[in-house]
Amino acid sequence: MIAFDKKISFESKRNDIVTVGELLIDMISADYSDNFDCNTYHKSFGGSPSNIAMNVTKLGLNSLVFSAVGNDGFGTFLVNQLNDAGIDTSCVQRVNRSTSMVVVTKSKSTPIPIFYRQADYHLDYTPSLEEALLNSKIVHFSCWPISMLPARHTIERMIETARSHGVLVCFDPNFHPMIWQAGENGVAYVKSILSKVDIVKPSEDDAERLFGKDTHLNQVGKFLELGAKLVIMTLGKNGALISNGTDTIRMDTLATEVVDTTGAGDAFWSGFYAGLVKGYTVRESLRLGMAVSAFKLKHSGAVVNSLDIEEVKGIFRV
Amino acid sequence: MIAFDKKISFESKRNDIVTVGELLIDMISADYSDNFDCNTYHKSFGGSPSNIAMNVTKLGLNSLVFSAVGNDGFGTFLVNQLNDAGIDTSCVQRVNRSTSMVVVTKSKSTPIPIFYRQADYHLDYTPSLEEALLNSKIVHFSCWPISMLPARHTIERMIETARSHGVLVCFDPNFHPMIWQAGENGVAYVKSILSKVDIVKPSEDDAERLFGKDTHLNQVGKFLELGAKLVIMTLGKNGALISNGTDTIRMDTLATEVVDTTGAGDAFWSGFYAGLVKGYTVRESLRLGMAVSAFKLKHSGAVVNSLDIEEVKGIFRV
């Protein structure tokens, strides 16, 4: 059991965390539009696991990214961004597909992204990937790599290796039907993988896409029933509901000012991981996650350049 | 034989020309760069066959586009652009793939595009497509739809139908290895299709990619040997070399001012088609093609909004 008032103990490893999954270009419209009639777009570094790697590095952890990008200018741009941030890119694979991209229009209603998935899911399980995994404390992955082959098989092998070697397995069930192949039952697959992970952090939307509408407590119960050991359900301005199957706790948000919600969930993960690796208890780590998320909400953009753990702790008194 | 001083006679059909192939978003960098480090991109209507449809409509022909785009905002944008230009879009298929896109940085050296092919090659042969084809005088296609399945099979069936019903078959062998699947012999496939087409218009680069370096006359001979009935090899500022297998003629460029070469080849096709449909001889039609191309070269952009056949004829005295 993952007890709230205990630390998670890790073996001494040279790397703290491996994030696995989409490393891609976000192509975001300059203007607001609901129908892609805007003509100007700005490219930016994107992909939730890579944003977490960026954040945790700023918070003082060693991180390593497992992703596949194209042998093209966009791939080089992304790798350079990671290198500039001090992240180990030795496991970023360059493949003969175009670097994946998501085009989004800023929208006052619900933006509908257009997905261009090419390189990202061509992630292979390699000896150097396994070596890096065995020398890491935590492995984190999202729904993107499990949604398509061959990356799905890579994740399956990684989970197996991680579990048999004491690497903590964390999963962001950011399920979106549009990243799945038409006709494939993505919901069933995501559910099937929950028995193999230690920690899962669904949002309300993630839970609803997987299980339909229900109370927060019931949703958390479903993740536990399927085998996750710690479920952190984030509830936006209503904080979070967290359960290890024995104890269930509620945490309030620490947010005081909301400028931009982009990347708030990744910021939570990042603070939480920083806490775990630095030897905080699970409860303290959760609170650091809430603080980093609150700090991110005060700034625009998916990753806050000025993220600093001492500043965050000072502001939010964690 | 396609004689230079004769007209090509067409049955009376309600539509003049069908263009088949890529209808896509060109995402072009605002600034010059050789390594995709520019951040701002402008989207525009793109795809050579669709640009020809745009041009010939301005020149007074009826045109119809056969293409596949996504059920997304970009697909809607492209269809709206065609509709606004007066082009029949009843055969533009909306498919459950993202609308294809090409990202290009403006470059002082050779720009290397990044291809995002998704919807474009999911073009199916449908009854409405066949009905439209049978009611057209000319069918034009490019290398894009033959480079991948299922669009390749659609083109093969279209060629068969066109040949057995007196529809003129014209092919732009704009071969580029990057649009082909890795490991597939695109050159061999393009060569194999030449026996089934009436008119082919290679550029020097196209010929070199298909046959290696050789003299212009030899290159033209290779297209003829493989079965094309009329070969129009465009040579940029050196005009064009054209052969029907019996007679070979040279035409000078009519260009007086070169502002932007983008779309010059499509402009040539457009003027040539306009001539053929309006009852000009082949030689006169070729000259109209040269004139429309020269007009295009004076303007920036792939399609010239102000394209007007009387103005073109006036300027270039054709």
| Whole-number Å distance between alpha carbons of A251 and A290 | 8
One pLDDT digit (tens) per residue for chain B, 318 residues: 999 999 999 999 999 999 999 999 999 999 887 777 789 999 999 999 999 999 999 999 999 999 999 999 999 999 999 999 999 999 999 999 999 999 988 777 667 889 999 999 999 999 999 999 999 999 999 999 999 999 999 999 999 999 999 999 999 999 888 888 888 899 999 999 999 999 999 999 999 999 999 999 999 999 999 999 999 999 999 999 999 999 999 999 999 999 888 899 999 999 999 999 999 999 999 999 999 999 999 998 888 888 999 999 999 988
Minimum distance, in Å, between the CA of residue A272 and any CA atom of chain B: 32
Residue A55 lies in a domain: yes
Minimum distance, in Å, between the CA of residue B211 and any CA atom of chain A: 25
DSSP assignment of B140-170, as one string? Answer: EEEHHHHHSTTHHHHHHHHHHHHHHTT-EEE
Minimum distance, in Å, between the CA of residue B18 and any CA atom of chain A: 27
pLDDT of residue A107: 72
If one counts the domains in chain B, the total is 1
pLDDT of residue B302: 87
Cα separations in angstroms, B85 against B37, B130, B132, B289, B299: 34, 23, 19, 21, 19
Judged by average pLDDT, the poorest of A97-106, A217-226, A241-250 is A97-106
pLDDT of residue A114: 94
Q: Are the beta carbons of B114 and A98 separated by less than 8 Å? A: yes
Residue B35 has its nearest CB partner, among A41, A76, A99, at A76
Between chain A and chain B, the number of residue pairs with CB atoms below 8 A apart is: 76
Residue B73 has its nearest CB partner, among A36, A70, A72, at A36
Q: Quick check: A260 pLDDT over 90?
A: no
pLDDT band at A159 (very low <50, low <70, confident <90, very high): very high
What mean pLDDT value characterizes chain A?
94
Amino acid letter at B8?
A: I
Chain B residue closest in CA terms to A81 = B37
Q: Are the beta carbons of A41 and B40 separated by less than 8 Å? A: yes
Residue A3 lies in a domain: no
Q: Quick check: A32 pLDDT over 90?
A: no
Residue B302 lies in a domain: yes
Residue A5 lies in a domain: no
Cβ-Cβ contacts under 8 Å, B43 against chain A = 39-41
Segments forming the whole domain that contains residue A247: 15-316
Residue of A86, A92, A14 whose CA lies nearest to A307: A86
pLDDT band at A306 (very low <50, low <70, confident <90, very high): confident
* pLDDT tens figures, A37-95: 789 999 999 999 999 999 999 999 999 999 999 999 999 999 999 999 999 999 999 99
Residue A6 lies in a domain: no
pLDDT band at A149 (very low <50, low <70, confident <90, very high): very high
Q: Which residues of A158-182 are buried (b: 16+ CB within 10 A; e: fewer)?
A: bbebbeeeebbbbbbbbbeeebbee
What is the gyration radius of the CA atoms in chain A, in angstroms?
Answer: 18
- What backbone torsions phi and psi does residue A149 show, to the nearest 5 degrees? -80, 150
Amino acid letter at A41?
A: Y
Residue A185 lies in a domain: yes
Q: Which residues of A lie closer than 8 Å to B, measured between beta carbons?
A: 27, 30, 35-37, 39-44, 70, 72-74, 76-77, 96, 98-99, 101, 103, 105, 112, 114-116, 118, 182
pLDDT of residue A127: 96
| Whole-number Å distance between alpha carbons of B27 and B42 | 5
pLDDT of residue A33: 77
Among A116, A148, A180, most B C-beta atoms within 10 A, so best to mutate, is: A116
Chain B residue closest in CA terms to A72 = B114
Percent of chain A with pLDDT over 90: 85
Using N-to-C axis directions, what is the helix angle for A48-58 and A73-84, rounded to 10°? 20
| Whole-number Å distance between alpha carbons of A99 and A26 | 11
The CATH number assigned to the domain holding A141 equals: 3.40.1190.20
pLDDT of residue A76: 95
Residue B310 lies in a domain: yes
Strands (E), chain B: 15-20, 24-32, 40-46, 63-70, 92-95, 101-106, 114-116, 136-142, 168-172, 199-200, 230-234, 240-243, 248-251
Residue A2 lies in a domain: no
Chain B residue closest in CA terms to A26 = B39
Cβ-Cβ contacts under 8 Å, B39 against chain A = 42-44
Query: Which residues touch A266 (CB under 8 Å, ≥6 apart)?
Result: A48, A51, A52, A55, A302, A303
Residue B41 has its nearest CB partner, among A41, A73, A99, at A41
pLDDT of residue B105: 85
Residue A39 has its nearest CB partner, among B42, B72, B105, at B42
Amino acid letter at B2?
A: I
Q: Are the beta carbons of A74 and B27 separated by less than 8 Å? A: no
Q: Are the beta carbons of A36 and B101 separated by less than 8 Å? A: no
pLDDT band at A178 (very low <50, low <70, confident <90, very high): confident
| Whole-number Å distance between alpha carbons of B266 and B270 | 6
Instruction: Report the SS3 class of residue A195.
Output: helix
Judged by average pLDDT, the poorest of A128-142, A155-169, A269-283, A297-311 is A297-311
Residue B43 has its nearest CB partner, among A39, A77, A115, at A39
Average pLDDT estimate for A263-289? 97
Q: Quick check: A36 pLDDT over 80?
A: no
Minimum distance, in Å, between the CA of residue A120 and any CA atom of chain B: 13
